[in-house]
């Protein structure tokens, strides 16, 4: 392809040659014929003059097989070598025979393995001149031998270089595919993480809103001022849910994720008190206990603890009944934390049904596993449900 400044680079020429190999080979055959014709007519200053029709026939006909030198180099070499021997035997002095034969030999070395090239080179030498005698002819034979070896070495080197470049291109393509695959996996992992966050946010806040709305409906007639306060809490919970949803949408947009994260930081250990207050406002009696001092674990660790507590209390709101009591216990260790959430299941059977989608339980288990911990959930010995998670924060980032 010619660039805007009308200059042609070697890369452009190689690209044209790859796209039109037959035209290039035809051009090479034409150049060989033209060069040999110039030698015969003496236009190059050579002393060789045209002799007879056999010389001109060899100039015209011998280069023709070179058009197929890429597709069938061995066959082209055999044909040109045979014609070379025949024309030499008939006494032709045309330079076309040797030139075409060496060009075909180069094609064998260039496009076929070396085991074909060297035997082919050996067949050229006896046919160079079947009348070699002592004297200067031996010098000419040595020169042709050196040229023949050089032609083979050039062809073999080009073949090796082409194979090397092809291997590099293949490796680069595979690396690019691997990079794209890793990028797709990273996007899928991020989408799964965002989906898990979305479930936690939506499920918790909607559960709180539903519980508060039921409470407001029940108290509107007897305590309108209390109902107004409850509806204010519903509004605040909805706004908080909307803010977190906007942050998650920012993550899905990709480029705006850092800005979204900066505008709405992810919740952590310091936000658990506000979480408990919202659940209390929804009607669940929640007791929060802490033991120990959290370490410098990073925001990911705090988010994991927060989401586990949030999901457990959300399940209490959904399944434990309107007058349930829950206990949240956070025990901080030097290299981790133990999170326990218990409820008494008031108003419901002790064996509460499992959620049909199980996204919440799966999300809690994934968060615990990401930090080298484990999650246990199930009914208590008495009425109620229990959630216990053990997390290890010896690293600031999850595994």
Rounded (5°) CA angle 19-20-21: 110
Q: What pLDDT score does 114 carry? A: 79
Average pLDDT over residues 312-332: 87
Average pLDDT over residues 218-234: 74
Q: What pLDDT score does 52 carry? A: 59
Contact 301, 391 (CB under 8 A): yes
Does residue 192 register a pLDDT over 80? no
Higher pLDDT, 31 or 55: 31
Average pLDDT over residues 289-300: 86
Sheet-wide strand order for 336-343: 285-291, 325-333, 336-343, 385-392, 374-379
pLDDT band at 388 (very low <50, low <70, confident <90, very high): very high
pLDDT band at 268 (very low <50, low <70, confident <90, very high): confident
Q: What pLDDT score does 131 carry? A: 43
Does residue 259 register a pLDDT over 60? no
Average pLDDT over residues 75-91: 76
Query: Do β-strands 385-392 and 285-291 pair in parallel, antiparallel, or remain unpaired?
Result: unpaired
Q: What pLDDT score does 351 carry? A: 44
Average pLDDT over residues 81-109: 75
Distances 126 to 159, 164, 315, 345 between C-alpha atoms, Å: 26, 34, 94, 103
Q: Which domains does the chain have, with CATH numbers?
A: 10-131 (no CATH), 270-399 (3.30.565.10)
Does residue 3 register a pLDDT over 70? no
Higher pLDDT, 361 or 134: 361
Q: What pLDDT score does 329 carry? A: 96
Q: What pLDDT score does 390 carry? A: 92
Q: What pLDDT score does 290 carry? A: 95
* Other residues' Cβ atoms within 10 Å of the Cβ of residue 231: 16
pLDDT band at 396 (very low <50, low <70, confident <90, very high): very low
Q: What pLDDT score does 376 carry? A: 92
Contacts of 143 by beta carbon, 8 Å cutoff, 6+ apart: none
Distances 136 to 46, 75, 139, 377 between C-alpha atoms, Å: 19, 33, 5, 100
- What are residue 163's phi and psi, to 5 degrees? -65, -40
Does residue 323 register a pLDDT over 80? no
Q: Say what the pTM is.
A: 0.44
Q: What pLDDT score does 54 carry? A: 66
Contact 303, 264 (CB under 8 A): no
Contact 317, 206 (CB under 8 A): no
Range with the poorest average pLDDT among 4-18, 100-114, 285-299: 4-18
| pLDDT 10s digits, 117-154 | 888 878 776 655 544 444 456 676 777 788 888 888 98
Residue closest to 284 by CA, chosen among 321, 328, 232: 321
């Amino acid at each position: 392809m010619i660039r805007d400044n009308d200059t042609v680079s070697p890369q452009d020429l190689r690209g044209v040659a790859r796209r039109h190999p037959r035209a290039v080979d035809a051009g090479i055959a034409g150049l060989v014929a033209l060069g040999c014709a110039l030698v015969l007519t003496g236009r190059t200053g050579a002393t060789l003059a045209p002799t007879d029709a056999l010389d001109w026939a060899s100039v015209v006909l011998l280069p023709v097989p070179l058009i197929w030198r890429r597709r069938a180099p061995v066959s082209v070499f055999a044909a040109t070598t045979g014609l070379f021997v025949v024309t030499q035997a008939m006494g032709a002095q045309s330079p076309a025979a040797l030139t075409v034969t060496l060009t075909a030999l180069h094609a064998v070395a260039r496009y076929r393995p070396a085991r074909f090239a060297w035997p082919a080179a050996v067949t050229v030498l006896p046919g160079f001149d079947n009348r070699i005698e002592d004297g200067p002819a031996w010098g000419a034979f040595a020169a042709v031998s050196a040229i023949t070896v050089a032609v083979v070495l050039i062809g073999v080197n080009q073949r090796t270089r082409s194979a090397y470049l092809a291997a590099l291109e293949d490796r680069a393509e595979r690396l690019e595919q691997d990079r794209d695959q890793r990028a797709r996996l990273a996007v899928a992992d991020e989408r799964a993480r965002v989906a898990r966050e979305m479930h936690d946010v939506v499920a918790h806040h909607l559960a709180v809103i539903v519980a508060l709305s039921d409470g407001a409906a029940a108290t509107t007639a007897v305590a309108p001022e209390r109902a107004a306060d409850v509806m204010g809490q519903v509004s605040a919970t909805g706004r908080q849910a909307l803010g977190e949803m906007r942050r998650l949408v920012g993550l899905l947009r990709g480029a705006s994720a850092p800005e979204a994260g900066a505008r709405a930081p992810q919740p952590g250990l310091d936000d658990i008190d506000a979480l408990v207050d919202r659940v209390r406002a929804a009607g669940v009696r929640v007791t929060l206990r802490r033991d120990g001092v959290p370490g410098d674990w990073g925001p990911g660790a705090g988010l994991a603890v927060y989401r586990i507590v949030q999901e457990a209390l959300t399940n209490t709101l959904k399944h434990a009944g309107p007058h349930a009591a829950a206990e949240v216990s956070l025990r901080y260790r030097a290299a981790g934390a133990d999170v326990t959430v218990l409820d008494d299941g008031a108003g419901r059977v002790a064996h509460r049904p499992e959620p049909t989608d199980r996204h919440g339980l799966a999300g809690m288990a994934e968060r615990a596993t990401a930090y080298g911990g484990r999650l246990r959930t199930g009914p208590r010995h008495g009425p109620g449900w229990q959630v216990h998670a053990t997390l290890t924060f010896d690293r600031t980032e999850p595994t």
